[in-house]
A and B are shown apart, each in its own frame.
Chain A
Amino acid sequence: MQRFLDPAVLAGISSLDLLAKTVVDGFVAGLHRSPDFGFSQEFAEYRAYTPGDDLRHVDWNLFARTERCYLKRYRGETNSQLTVLLDASNSMQYSSGPPPKMDYARFIAASLFYLAIHNQRDAAGLIVFDDDVREYVRPSTRHGQLMRLFAGLERAEPRARTDYGKPLRHFQALLHRRGIVIVLSDFYEKPEEIVRIVEPLHFHGNDVVLFHILDPQEIKPELKAPAILVDLETDREMEVIPEYAKMVYRTKMQSHLEQLRTRAQAAGMDYHLLITDQPLDSALRQYLSLRQAGN
């Protein structure tokens, strides 16, 4: 089943519905084999009764045997709200091989939506942005929500350039309820600026996850000869020599990734680097762990 999670294979599937189903079913099927994971309602602990506690939670069988009043605590099972913030700027259409970063991001978003709505009964919503909010699908568990989300993903074609400042002001207005906020972007911005903009979402009680989507060539670019590079967002051209791409660029990129990771974690956010040639399950696994931790 692992091959169904291979991005190159998934790229051949045109329907996001089928794609999300394939990914999530494959992921869940593999999950049952693991003894370490589970998400049904189950006993957590006993706690001594204190005045004011709800008597409905007292374990009366235990009281009958021991005449001590204990409260029986279970892991709470509540419906959460998932909101995916998808970066649809021009830089997301870069690809050194299938799939492009934008498609990869859509795969992840679709899979998350499927998992949240179909498996977890969570409300799921979508915000597509570039230099402004282009698409907004309110989080909901209503029937047909998944299709609306998929349609929103379909419409999210890369254009314009990224500007985190402006759409984030809208995010705060749109996200009233606490939940999980997943940001899918290539984050070509200064780490402190990114964290500064995204951090308010965390302050509102959201669990914020940054999924940093990059192409392998963006991490380790290979130039055989001096070349003229064109910025997809600004159309600016620049002559670059192979020596620079091999040495300085990689150092800068690693530094950028490290800073972004550090600053995000320092701000209480999770950060995950997703390479477009890697399977999608790490993103799903991250979501479930957050979902479980939130309960």
Chain B
Amino acid sequence: MGFLAPWFFAGLAALGVPILVHLLRKHVTTPRPVSSLMFFERGVQSSTRHQRLRYLLLFALRSALLLMVVLAFANPFVRRAATATNESLLLIVVDDSFSMRAGTRFDDAKREALALLAAKPPSQKAQVIALGGQPEVLTQPTMDEAQARSAIERIRQGDGHANFGELGRSIRSVTETAQMPIELHLFSDMQHTAMPANFADMVLPPNVKLVLHDAAKGSAPPNWAVQSVSAPAELVDPKDPKRSRVQAVIAGFATPQAAKTVLLAVNGKAIATHKVNVPANGRATVEFAPFDIGYGFNRCEVRIEGGDTLPADDASIFVTRRSDPERVLFVHAANDTRSPVYFGSALAAARQSSFALQIVTPEQTTDLDPSRFSFVVLSDAINLPSIFEHTLAQYISRGGTVLITLGTNAGRRAHIPIWGAEVKDVHDYSRAGTAATIGTVDFTHPALEQEQPGRDKGGWVETKFFYAASVDPGQARVGARLSDGTPLLLDKQIGEGHVLLFTSGLENLTNDLPLHPIFVAFVDKAALFLSGRERLSGSQLVDSFVQLRSSTQPAGEAATIEVIDPDGRRPLSLREGRTVQTFQLPRAGFYQVRFANGRDAVIAVNPDRRESDLQPIAPDVQQLWSGTNDRSTPLQTAVVDDVKYRPTSLWWYVMLLALVVALAETALASRYLGTQREEA
């Protein structure tokens, strides 16, 4: 305890005033003479003593009043240890990621969290956060223990991938609003795969004290898992030896060498079994071929027989659709005869595509209905019949997709069908003597997607471009640019559909792209993107998003989107079904989706396989994380001290007490003065 203004204690000298007054009062009392005390007796002493006591009480009240006022001006305070008292926020974070399904980790974590909650002081606030794919705040800071307990009990085992970096970001945002010391208790299996790439992302604010509760309790148990499955999303011919096969990678984490039986099931029926020797702590590939499935969406599963610590990751699901080859309308200019050849060859060589190309000239498009095709390619076809162009525009607005390439005809007419903009200029690099090369490539675009492009930009760096049209990209997404900055691949969303604009040709006159292997991959990816199969293919990871409709379409005109989760329930309400643009896949299993353009899809969702590696974070790293505050700079320490010991001013309480004393003094003094008047 201390005083913020101790010099006000000089006012205690005023205590002499009531002392003087009461002493004088005592002297004023003069005895009263009588003739004789013969008939008098000493009165009941308590009465006289009461009077004296009353005066003393009055004196005490007056002195106390002065003392209180002086004390209030001195502004007393107490230094309350914030961490020792109940002013800290008890933040309980329970890891409900996929790896917590191993053994009894999840139940142990919840039990320990409930025990911690029960042991907290009643006046301490608590907040509960579930750490799955994204940290989910389940309660606001509350002193209601029942609410916090209910929140902990409501946490269910999830399929997400925990990320301590995300946790750090969430805690930092919590500290911005909480403005109080935080005692963070993390109940987790401390998977090392949950660590972010940068340890700094895990660092917690200075006023957060981290306490780790390891639910794994020891080293990682051996665990086998289906790490990945490679299977065709679309299958036309099950007897095609190149495409009709399923490859699965079986991985062991902290495992000895073992022979495992791997099973392939389609729609719940096992159709093939293979034995595979998985090396110690290694991987083995198992292939199922041919892959004989029926028409439609086939819900497939690759499973490892025999259980282990984490049986949930012993299976991996995927969806393969068997259908007839989809038709692609290829419209080329009359003078462009090479493009169909190159494009058709590349499409046929593509690994995952199964399309049948219908090649026509613009004059032959009058009676064609684009909606009967998976997508449309306009290869240097500048002059389209207006009827077809109008039909094509409607087709795109309803979700159709078109690839437009600009060959040498772009120099003769600036109009680009469907696109909505014109050619600004034409770059004829052959005249300058030096061909243009690829400048930048956006490998995140579905048509250009490559996981690890490398220095050669995935093979694009070797291509040369001799002729390219210059188009203002406007709102379109630029997928690739030439070395001089000219946009090479543009993606524009129109209505529910997409239009890809390739500002050069698909033949070997305007560029040498068809001569390079990257051309086949480009055509394959572009075909998948244009046909929409990349949204429907194989499998997705838990917590990934599916785009259900374009963002440009007005909500009022949108068709209802339907999503059925693995349990057969519809997670979207009717209102949400008409407005929502994306949907996050929160759990593992098969999701049925009907998109806004009317296409159906079945999406298989698997947990992130990083969750299968149960190896915990090294103890020294854990100590480093939980002890981050101790190694902070002196400035941070000062901040922590300031937070730990917070001065709480007591002047208000002292003034309140002084008011009470003043009222009591007034009542007693008026009564005393009344007695004096009677005596007078």
Report which A residues bind B (CB closer than 8 A): 91-92, 94, 101, 186, 188, 215, 218, 221, 224-234, 236-241, 243-245, 248-249, 252-253, 256
Across the two chains, which residue of chain A brings its CB closest to B680?
A224
Asked if B42 and A94 sit within 8 Å, CB to CB, the answer is no
Q: CB-CB < 8 A to B36: which residues of A? A: 91, 186, 188, 231-233
Query: How far apart are the CA atoms of A256 and B36 in the complex, in Å?
Result: 13
Closest 4 interchain pairs by CB? A241-B43, A91-B35, A188-B36, A94-B35
Does B484 sit at the interface, judged by CB under 8 A?
no
* B residues less than 8 Å from A243 (CB atoms): 43-44, 47
Do A244 and B38 contact each other (CB < 8 Å), given the known contacts A226-B47, A230-B31, A232-B33?
no
Q: How many residues of B contact A (CB 8 A)?
A: 22
User: B37 to A229, Cβ gap below 8 A?
Assistant: yes
Known: A231-B34, A232-B34. A226 touches B39 (CB 8 A): no
- Scoring B residues 14 to 36 as 1 if CB is less than 8 Å from chain A, else 0, what string do you get? 00000000000000010111111
Cross-chain contact of A239 among B38, B39, B42, B678 (Cβ < 8 A): B42
User: Would you list which residues of chain B between 117 and 160 have a CB under 8 Å from chain A?
Assistant: none
User: When chains A and B are docked, how far (Å) is the Cα of A100 from the Cα of B38?
Assistant: 19
Whether B51 is near chain A, meaning CB under 8 Å from some CB there, is yes
A241 and B34 contact, CB distance less than 8 A: no
State in angstroms the CA–CA spacing of A241 and B33 once bound together: 15
| Contact of A229 with B41 at beta-carbon distance under 8 Å, contacts A224-B678, A239-B48, A241-B47 already known | no
Q: Which of B34, B39, B42, B44 has the most CB of A within 10 A?
A: B34
With a CB–CB cut-off of 8 A, which chain A residues contact B679? 224-225
* Contact of A188 with B38 at beta-carbon distance under 8 Å, contacts A241-B43, A241-B44 already known: yes
Q: Are A229 and B34 in contact (CB under 8 A)?
A: yes
User: Please, which residue of chain A has its CB at the minimum distance from the CB of B44?
Assistant: A241
Contacts of A94 in B (CB 8 A): 33-35
The interface residues of chain A lying within 8 Å CB-to-CB of B41 are: 238, 240, 244, 248
B42: which A residues are within 8 A, CB to CB? 238-240
Q: Could you tell me if A226 and B43 are in contact, using CB atoms closer than 8 angstroms? A: yes
With a cutoff of 8 Å between Cβ atoms, the chain B residues found around residue A238 in the complex are 37, 40-42
List the B side residues contacting A236 at CB < 8 Å. Answer: 37
Q: A225-B51, A239-B45 are in contact. Are A249 and B39 (CB under 8 A)?
A: yes
- Which of B35, B37, B45, B675 has the largest number of chain A CB atoms within 10 A? B35
With a CB–CB cut-off of 8 A, which chain B residues contact A239? Answer: 42-43, 45, 48
- Could you show 19 A-B contacts with beta carbons less than 8 Å apart? A91-B36, A186-B35, A188-B35, A225-B675, A227-B32, A228-B31, A229-B33, A229-B40, A230-B31, A232-B33, A232-B35, A233-B35, A234-B37, A236-B37, A237-B31, A239-B43, A240-B40, A241-B47, A249-B40
- Among A92, A226, A236, residue most surrounded by chain B Cβ atoms (within 10 Å): A226
Closest A residue to B52 using CB positions: A226
User: By the criterion CB–CB under 8 Å, are B39 and A231 in contact?
Assistant: no
Add 18 more A-B contacts to A229-B32, A230-B32 (CB < 8 A).
A94-B33, A94-B34, A94-B35, A218-B34, A218-B35, A225-B51, A229-B37, A230-B33, A230-B34, A231-B35, A231-B36, A232-B33, A232-B36, A233-B35, A234-B37, A236-B37, A238-B37, A249-B40
Q: How far is the CB of B164 from chain A (nearest CB, A)?
A: 82
Q: Is the CB of A226 within 8 A of B35?
A: no
* Smallest beta-carbon distance A49→chain B, Å: 59
A60, chain B: closest CB distance, angstroms: 62
Which chain A positions have C-beta within 8 A of B35?
91-92, 94, 101, 186, 188, 215, 218, 231-233
Complex: A236 Cα to B33 Cα, angstroms: 10
Of B38, B43, B678, which one neighbours A240 at CB under 8 angstroms? B43
Q: B48 near A241 (CB under 8 angstroms)? A: yes
State how many angstroms separate the Cβ of A179 from the closest Cβ of chain B: 29
* Structural contact, A226 and B51, CB atoms closer than 8 A: yes
CA distance A244 to B39 in the complex (A): 10
Output the least CB separation between A281 and chain B (Å).
Answer: 25
Which chain B residues lie closer than 8 Å to A256 at the CB level? 39
State A281–B51 Cα separation when bound (angstroms). 46
Grouping DSSP codes into helix (H, G, I), strand (E, B) and loop, the B interface class, with mixed when no group exceeds half, is loop
A252 to B47 Cα, complex, angstroms: 22
In the docked arrangement, what's the CA distance between A225 and B52, Å? 12
Q: How far is the CB of A26 from chain B (nearest CB, A)?
A: 29
Could you tell me the dominant secondary structure of chain A's interface residues?
mixed
Rounded to whole Å, the gap between the CB of B563 and the closest CB of chain A is 93
Q: Give the docked Cα–Cα distance between A237 and B30 (Å).
A: 11
- Nearest residue (CB) in B for A251 is B39
**Nearest residue, chain B, Cβ from A101:** B35
Q: Select from chain B the residue with minimum beta-carbon distance to A188.
A: B36
Give the distance in Å from the alpha carbon of A243 to the alpha carbon of B29 in the complex: 20
Contact call B39/A229, Cβ cutoff below 8 A: no
A224 and B32 CA atoms in complex are apart in Å by 12
Whole-angstrom distance between the alpha carbons of A256 and B40 in the complex? Answer: 13
Residue in B29, B33, B48, B51 with the greatest tally of chain A CB atoms within 10 Å: B33
List chain B residues, Cβ under 8 A from A229: 31-34, 37, 40
Q: How far is the CB of B33 from chain A (nearest CB, A)?
A: 5
Residues B29 and A228 in contact, CB atoms below 8 Å apart = yes
Specify which chain B residues have a CB less than 8 angstroms from the CB of A231 in the assembled complex: 34-37
Report which residue of B48, B675, B678 has the largest number of chain A beta carbons within 10 angstroms of its beta carbon: B48
Residues in chain B near residue A232, CB distance under 8 A: 33-36
Q: Which residue of A lies closest to B29 (CB)?
A: A228
Q: Which residue of A lies closest to B46 (CB)?
A: A241
Please, which residue of chain A has its CB at the minimum distance from the CB of B676? A225
- How far is the CB of A216 from the nearest CB of chain B, in Å? 12
How far, in whole Å, are A91 and B38 apart by their CA atoms in the complex?
11
In the bound complex, CA of A224 to CA of B47 (Å): 13
Q: Binary interface profile of B, 381-399, with partner A (CB < 8 Å = 1, else 0)?
A: 0000000000000000000
Residue with the highest number of chain A CB atoms closer than 10 Å, among B36, B37, B38: B36
What B residues does A188 contact at CB under 8 A? 35-36, 38
- Nearest-CB distance from A202 to chain B (Å)? 25
Residue among A240, A245, A249 with the highest chain B CB neighbour number at 10 A: A240
Report the minimum CB–CB distance from A3 to chain B (whole Å): 28
A154 nearest CB across to chain B (Å): 22
Cβ distance A178 to chain B, nearest Cβ, rounded Å: 33
List residues of chain B with CB within 8 A of the CB of A237: 31
Interface residues in B629-680 (C-beta closer than 8 Å to A): 675, 678-679
Q: How far is the CB of A146 from chain B (nearest CB, A)?
A: 30
Alpha-carbon distance A229/B35, docked complex (angstroms): 10
**Separation in Å of the B32 CB from the closest CB of chain A?**
5
Within 8 A of A (CB), among B308-366: none
Q: From residue B102, how far is it (CB to closest CB) to chain A in Å?
A: 88
Minimum CB distance partner of B39 in chain A: A252
Q: Could you tell me the distance between the alpha carbons of A153 and B39 in the complex, rounded to whole angstroms? A: 29
Is there an interface contact between B34 and A253, defined as CB atoms closer than 8 Å?
no
Shortest distance from the beta carbon of B389 to any chain A beta carbon, whole Å: 117
Bound CA span A239–B31, Å: 9
In the complex, what residues of B have CB within 8 A of residue A228's CB?
29, 31-32
Residue ID in chain A nearest B36 by CB atoms: A188
Query: Please, which residue of chain B has its CB at the minimum distance from the CB of A214?
Result: B35
Question: How far does the alpha carbon of A82 sit from the alpha carbon of B289 in the complex, in Å?
Answer: 164
In Å, the complex CA distance between A221 and B48 comes to 18
Task: Please name all residues of chain A whose beta carbon is closer than 8 Å to the beta carbon of B48 when the two chains form the complex.
Answer: 226, 239, 241
Chain A residues, Cβ within 8 Å of B37: 229, 231, 234, 236, 238
Chain A residues with CB below 8 A from B45, complex form: 239
B38 to chain A, nearest CB (A): 5
Q: What is the bound-complex CA distance between A226 and B49, given in angstroms? A: 10
Question: Judging by beta carbons under 8 Å apart, are B34 and A244 in contact?
Answer: no
Q: Pick the most buried of A241, A245, A256: most chain B CB atoms within 10 A of its CB.
A: A241
Q: Separation in Å of the A155 CB from the closest CB of chain B?
A: 21
The smallest beta-carbon distance between A282 and chain B, in angstroms, is 21
Min Cβ gap A238→B in Å is: 5
A232 to B37, CA, bound (A): 9
- Complex: how many Å from CA A238 to CA B20? 27
Considering only CB atoms, which chain B residue lies closest to A162 in the complex? B36
Q: List B contacts of A227 (CB < 8 A).
A: 31-32
A236 to B36, CA, bound (A): 9
